[in-house]
Structure formats: C-alpha cells, structure tokens
Amino acid sequence: MEKFPSLNIDATVEIKCKDKKESRAIHDSLLPDNIDIPKNLKLDMKMANSSVSLEIKFSSSAVEVKNIETLLNTFDELMEHTGIIKNVIKND
C-alpha cells in the first residue's frame, strides 16, 4: 500500500441553522457519530445559538491511503447525516 509522509489535517465546518432548536437537534443527533471514531481522528462539536461547529482533526505519522479515505468517509457521513436531520426537521 502506498505510504505518505506524516500528515495533519484540521478542518472546521460551520453549519448554519434557521434557529437554536434546529442547531440543538443537529448537534444532539450527531453526538453518536463521535463514538468509536478511528484513533487518528478527533471530532469536537460545539453549538452556538443558530449554528453547529464541527472540528475534525486528523493526524498520522505514516498515513496509508485507506486512512485518508477514512477521514473523507467520516466527513461525508457527517454531512449526509446533517442533511437528513435538516430534511426531517423541515418536514415536521
């Protein structure tokens, strides 16, 4: 498997919500995504009024391609879950 030099990635995503109720629903619904996360990933979530901030940190001393895919898949899953939550709230 192809190896890369050490790599650190810090990304922050701010999800704008229509109100505090929506931001609370998104925050609380994403909490289970922070359980059993791969050891080279760290996810911190913060809620502030009508937004949710997701801070994703990735680090590895010898990154394999599949580890980078894990980071991308985790991010994709968080965005997919956020979209689903917003659609459910919109239809309630």
The string of pLDDT tens digits covering residues 24-81 is 999 999 988 667 787 888 999 999 889 999 999 988 765 555 577 888 888 899 999 9
Between 69 and 21, name the one with better pLDDT: 21
Looking at residue 24, its pLDDT comes to 93
Q: What is the pLDDT of residue 17?
A: 93
What pLDDT sits at residue 65?
Answer: 53
Q: Could you tell me the pLDDT band of residue 83, with boundaries at 50, 70 and 90?
A: very high
Per-residue confidence (pLDDT) for residue 3, from 0 to 100: 63
Instruction: Tell me which amino acid residue 2 is.
Output: E
Strand-pairing partners, residue 56, are 11, 43
Rounded distance, CA 81 to CA 73, Å? 12
